[in-house]
Amino acid sequence: MKTRVSIYARYSSDLQSDASIEDQIRVCSEKANSENWKIMNCYTDAGISGASLMRPGIQSLISASMRGEFDIVLTEALDRLSRDQEDIAGIYKRMEFAGVKIITLSEGEISSLHIGLKGTMNAMFLKDLADKTRRGLRGRVEKGKSGGGIAYGYKVVKKFTPAGELIRGDREIDENQADIIRRIFKEYALENKSPKSIASDLNKEGIPCPSGKAWGQSTINGNRKRGTGILNNHLYIGELIWNRQKFIKDPSTGRRVPRFNDESEWVRKELPDLRIVSQDLWDAVKARQKILDHKKGTLTAKKRPQHLLSGLLVCGECSGGFSKVNTDRYGCSTARNKGESVCSNKKTIKASVLEDAVLSALELHLMRDELVQVFCEEYNKNINRLRSQHQASIKKHEAELSKLDKEKANIIQAIKDGVPADLIKDELKKITDKQAELKIQIKTGGKDIRPALHPAMALRYRKAINELRTALKSGKSGEAKEHVRALIEKIVLTPREGRKDLSIDLYGDLAGILKIASKGDAMKDLAQKSRRPERKVANDNFSFEPSIQVVAGKGFEPMTFGL
């Protein structure tokens, strides 16, 4: 039986090109063919840094290794798998647990020694690269050049050295965009117009936004502490500020998060030739912001209650979010913040009516018996496939254990025959450790995979939802809200042509549905907290029977049905 191998290739967009992926796969394939290995799959990540494990290719590779789909991971070099010390050590441990070897064209078969040395070298490379990049950017800023992208209101100036090389970082004022900036400052400071109103007018006139999409109040307001937004860019008064913040990778998610630097670390540079807004106009804007900040602090001193469906509502016309437009109604945020030229969906819906309709749909339609039957059949097919793979993996471990038993017996016999124990004790220890590891894998993996679906899953689900509805009527409904929200992937609200109401498409989240269906009577404690009787909710001229449709989420496709 041929040794099974999977190839992994990656390139970083800032260092290599698309062709790098093909080159890595080609040289790895040549190596596999020369060793007479069977190539099972190729996993790739294009244009993604090796400083994070949040890559679809590497995650698929790890998952496949745990299913026993291959025996060797082959890659060009260890830094293709990861440049982070913690991540590369984690990959190595997972592969070792799965009985998979890591082999690279540069280092050969990877051992724990490689992980320690190469992991440290790769981490040092990343830090050194970051330091050099920041040093280069600071040098450009000190010369009055751009330390990053070009801000709205400016355009790139192309200059070349006598040798013909491009000089980077020069810019000049774009007069057309500068007029828009001055207009925004004047309307905000002198005419007391809100950023929402300003954005709506700009969208109506078809004036391009800096992002290339549509103007929004956040484009104008931004974040004063970070210096973002039209009203907070110091470059408009001829002052360049660099190094306000730095980014640190969150080890739990792999994402970069901002951290503000102390003001003493900021780099300031006066660039009077790039001033767009007068000092008086700038000061007037800052004065109004200060007044509004004080009022905002007073209004938001009392914490607002969390709404049941907040963050789950989507506009079917523009794909923007639905949020509270007053105390008891939801409306499209995009239509209100960016104007009808971006989204014309001005229809609203009463919160209590929407919540009652959604809960009714969850209870009566999301776990219909015919849908559950189809899902259970597909689920059991998948379980059988996993069981087959699982048993094959166990047999592989047992065969390897039997082979090690024979090797161990031969070594012991050699010692009895007079071979000095010091010469072979290391090999004996290695075999013993590997045996212990295999026994653990066989023991922990020896449990049979059985379907976790209860025959009366749909009935138990509906009972749990009914108990949640009762709990939501009580004053202590925080936990009940979280359970209900876990069942919903999204709710799409779309204007119905020729009618005053909105159609409602409810998308269920499979993981949440199965979790609550398996709990059985776990919701009883929530229901017992409730003491209020249910009240009838007015339909508010919305005909829900024909307008709601329920769509089962991931795992249920292509089943779709309406009420």
For 541-559, what is each residue's pLDDT tens digit?
Answer: 333 333 445 554 444 333 3
Give residue 508's Cα distance to chain centre. 20
CATH code that applies to domain 4-127: 3.40.50.1390
Amino acid 539: pLDDT = 34
CA distance 62 to 318: 37
* Nearest Cα to Cα of residue 320 among 345, 354, 351: 345
Among 203-207, 406-410, 418-422, 523-527, name the one with the lowest average pLDDT. Answer: 523-527
CA distance 199 to 48: 35
Amino acid 71: pLDDT = 94
* Nearest Cα to Cα of residue 506 among 560, 443, 432: 560
Task: Tell me which of 80 and 533 has the higher pLDDT.
Answer: 80
Among 93-97, 436-440, 473-477, 494-498, name the one with the lowest average pLDDT. Answer: 473-477
Q: What is the mean pLDDT of residues 518-525?
A: 45
Confidence band, pLDDT 50/70/90 cuts, at residue 376:
low
Res. 426: pLDDT tops 50: yes
Question: Which residues have a Cβ under 8 Å from the Cβ of 129 and sit 6 or more positions away?
Answer: none
Q: What is the mean pLDDT of residues 218-223?
A: 86
For the entire predicted model, the pTM comes to 0.45
Q: How far apart are the first and last CA of the chain?
A: 55
Q: DSSP letter at 316?
A: T
Angle, vertex CA 371, rays to CA 370 and CA 377, nearest 5 = 90
Q: What is the mean pLDDT of residues 470-494?
A: 73
Amino acid 302: pLDDT = 46
CA distance 203 to 215: 6
Report the percentage of the chain scoring pLDDT > 70: 72
Amino acid 120: pLDDT = 72
Angle, vertex CA 261, rays to CA 257 and CA 262, nearest 5 = 155
- The pLDDT mean for the chain works out to 76
What DSSP letter does each residue of 221-256 carry, written as one string?
Answer: H--TTTT-SGGG-GGGGTEEEE-SEEEEE-TTT--E
Res. 65: pLDDT tops 80: yes
CA distance 548 to 346: 19
Question: Which residues have a Cβ under 8 Å from the Cβ of 54 and sit 6 or more positions away?
Answer: 253, 254, 255
Amino acid 4: pLDDT = 94
Helix (H) or strand (E) holding 125: helix 112-142
Per-residue pLDDT tens for 146-202? 766 788 998 888 878 788 777 777 888 999 999 999 999 999 988 888 888 898 889
Amino acid 533: pLDDT = 34
Among 224-228, 230-234, 238-242, 526-530, name the one with the lowest average pLDDT. Answer: 526-530
Per-residue pLDDT tens for 239-285? 888 787 777 766 655 566 778 888 888 888 888 889 999 999 999 99
Amino acid 29: pLDDT = 93
Res. 32: pLDDT tops 90: yes
Amino acid 35: pLDDT = 92
CA distance 265 to 243: 7
Res. 538: pLDDT tops 50: no
**Residue 104 pairs with which residues in a beta bridge?**
75, 108
CATH code that applies to domain 171-299: 3.90.1750.20
Confidence band, pLDDT 50/70/90 cuts, at residue 212:
confident
Res. 297: pLDDT tops 50: yes
Mapped to the 3 state alphabet, what secondary structure does 494-517 carry?
A: EECCCCCCEEEEEEECHHHHHHHH
Among 245-249, 365-369, 430-434, the range with the most confident prediction by mean pLDDT is 430-434
Rounded to whole angstroms, the maximal C-alpha distance in the chain is 101
What DSSP letter does each residue of 390-450 carry, written as one string?
Answer: HHHHHHHHHHHHHHHHHHHHHHHHHHHTT--HHHHHHHHHHHHHHHHHHHHHHHHT-SPP-
Give residue 460's Cα distance to chain centre. 32
Confidence band, pLDDT 50/70/90 cuts, at residue 526:
very low
* Nearest Cα to Cα of residue 364 among 281, 278, 458, 448: 458
Helix (H) or strand (E) holding 282: helix 279-299
The reply to whether 4-127 and 171-299 are identical in fold is no
Where are the domains positioned within the chain?
4-127, 171-299, 304-385+451-563, 386-444
CA distance 342 to 201: 11
Res. 305: pLDDT tops 70: no
Confidence band, pLDDT 50/70/90 cuts, at residue 43:
very high
**Residue 155 pairs with which residues in a beta bridge?**
172
Per-residue pLDDT tens for 125-154? 767 777 777 677 777 777 777 766 788 998
SS3 212: coil
